[in-house]
Structure 1
Amino acid sequence: MKRSIFFFIAIFLVHSLLQAQTLFYNTIKVEFEKTVYVQQMYKELEPEYYERIKANLPATALSYFDFVGDTTKSIFKPGREVPVSSRSWYSPIADKNVVYSDYKSDRVVAQKPVYEETFLVEDSLAKIKWKITTDIREIAGFECRKAVGILNDSIGVFAFYTDNILISGGPESIHGLPGMILGMGIPRLHTTWFATKVEVSGVNMSNVVPATKGKKVTYKTMMEAINKLANRWGDYGKKLMLNFAI
């Protein structure tokens, strides 16, 4: 009987020690690697011409973004640059977005250059319907749980979040999970975002402020303007414009 009591006490102490060692963070800097699966994307966009042009397309295209934030606000903006081959026919799209999120007031200010026009979207944070799954994956040293979501009732998203980081944010304007999103993919865009490194100390929040330049619009009026432009290019243009919907 005494052995059983001692055994359960030992189990309790070990569990308590492990719990005490679990660390939680509320201010971070994350570098995200964005991967566009270019050939897959163009195979869908240009099925009739794909075989002719695929030799001039990279299999993937990488770009980097920085996320800096705490539990009240964050900014997501372009990070270090990656050289682009002059021989490639691929031209990055939606790669200059600067997204400021205010989690306390449920507001977003997103600067989105769209060809010759720059929009400054001021609106409420996106509404995303999430369903959390049991799948687990490690990203940048953090154990992350998978969730699947629907943005704007039409765009499917999968995301991996960690509740060790107490920020309900993620790449672009994706948010709303009980922890920080460190990995994300949008199948319709043939694009993923995954954290390559996470800094949890000495994070400078002084530059976490919204952009100010651009034509002030709501999300709805921006998409209406973009869709008018996309209509000139048919289905090809409409599919590309989805990149600005996030």
Structure 2
Amino acid sequence: MRKLILTFSTLAIVTVSSFAQNVRFTRSGLIEYQKKVNMYAIIQRSINKENEALLKPAFEAYKEQHPQFKELKSTLMFSDNKTLFTPVDVNTSITSFFNDPQIAMQNNIVYSDLNNKQLISKRKVFDETYLLKDSLKNIKWKFTDEVRDVAGYPCHRANGLTLDSVYIVAFYTDKIPVSGGPELFGGLPGMILQLALPHENVSWIATKVEEVALPVNSILPPTNGIIINYKDLIRKLSSVLNNDLKSLKAFLL
């Protein structure tokens, strides 16, 4: 009987050990994201009793010429606990009467050093190009039991709050043990492959994940811009936007 117990114990240890050895973790690679923006919802929110006589007819014309959802692409390289988010589609011109609201644009290059908890973000703000240098974005996360598959990876749901009032839904995978994600979002025990700002009508989803060994020094911070930190950027934007908190948040997300 003792021999039988020892035999089963040995088999169990070997099985667990073999399973652990076969678990793969992606630590270096390239992710392709698709950003989706519900333009109809965003424009509808801007219409009120004071401007509806002008904006309602313009909105109807917009819907005849433009799809409801605007789609943009981007890539995220990650290796050595560093990430580099780069837009593929960059907004450079006005496309309609409504312009493109800031939340619907994608023109930030974001470098994150996760070991040192530092970021450098190159961003266009009106006519100036800034290099935002500061600590990583502080997001308050709460974990849930929901799980879904994204781009072939099992992902766990977490709900977050940033800038005091912006609600976030994220799905991250611990099979990519890198605390990153699209744009400035991160801070979870794994890579964010799907993220939504429900009240802002914006979402990102990974459409492809490639596990590749990136060349040395392929992930480098952006250069060429006016160096600024969060506090000074908020102060500058507040004065230009007359303390319009809604517009200010769009520039800081």
TM-score, with length taken from structure 1:
0.85
1:126 aligns with 2:133: no
The residue type equivalent to 1:120 in the other structure is L
Deviation at 1:204, TM superposition (A): 3.9
1:193 matched residue in structure 2: 204
1:245 matched residue in structure 2: 252
1:106 matched residue in structure 2: 117
1:148 aligns with 2:159: yes
Moved more, 41-50 or 59-68: 41-50
Moved more, 122-131 or 9-18: 9-18
User: How big is each residue's C-alpha offset from its partner over 1:122-162, in whole Å with a ceiling of 9 and x where there is no partner?
Assistant: 11111111111001111111010000111132221110000
2:39 matched residue in structure 1: 38
Deviation at 1:184, TM superposition (A): 0.4
Aligned residues: 241
For the aligned residue pairs, the C-alpha RMSD in angstroms reads: 3.0
Deviation at 1:85, TM superposition (A): 9.9
The residue type equivalent to 1:243 in the other structure is A
Question: Taking every aligned residue pair, what percent have the same amino acid on both sides?
Answer: 30
Give the Cα–Cα distance (whole angstroms) in 2 for the partners of residues 34 and 8 of structure 1: 50
Q: Which structure is larger by alpha-carbon Rg, 1 or 2?
A: 2
1:63 matched residue in structure 2: 72
Aligned positions of 1:1-246 closer than 5 A: 18-48=19-49, 49=52, 51-52=56-57, 53-57=59-63, 58-79=67-88, 89-91=98-100, 93=102, 94-204=105-215, 206-231=217-242, 238-246=245-253
The 1:168–1:47 alpha-carbon spacing in structure 2 relative to 1, beyond 3 Å, is same
8 A contact 1:31–1:79 mirrored in 2 = no
TM-score, with length taken from structure 2:
0.82
8 A contact 2:90–2:107 mirrored in 1 = no
Q: Which runs of 5+ in 1 are unaligned?
A: none
8 A contact 1:189–1:242 mirrored in 2 = no
Deviation at 1:213, TM superposition (A): 1.6
Deviation at 1:15, TM superposition (A): 6.0
The residue type equivalent to 1:56 in the other structure is Y
The residue type equivalent to 2:116 in the other structure is S
SS in 2 for 1:166: coil
Q: Which runs of 5+ in 2 are unaligned?
A: none
SS in 1 for 2:241: helix
Give the Cα–Cα distance (whole angstroms) in 2 for the partners of residues 21 and 66 of structure 1: 28
The residue type equivalent to 1:178 in the other structure is P
SS in 2 for 1:110: strand
SS in 1 for 2:220: coil
The residue type equivalent to 2:167 in the other structure is G
SS in 2 for 1:227: helix
Deviation at 1:42, TM superposition (A): 1.4
SS in 2 for 1:220: helix
Give the Cα–Cα distance (whole angstroms) in 1 for the partners of residues 70 and 97 of structure 2: 10
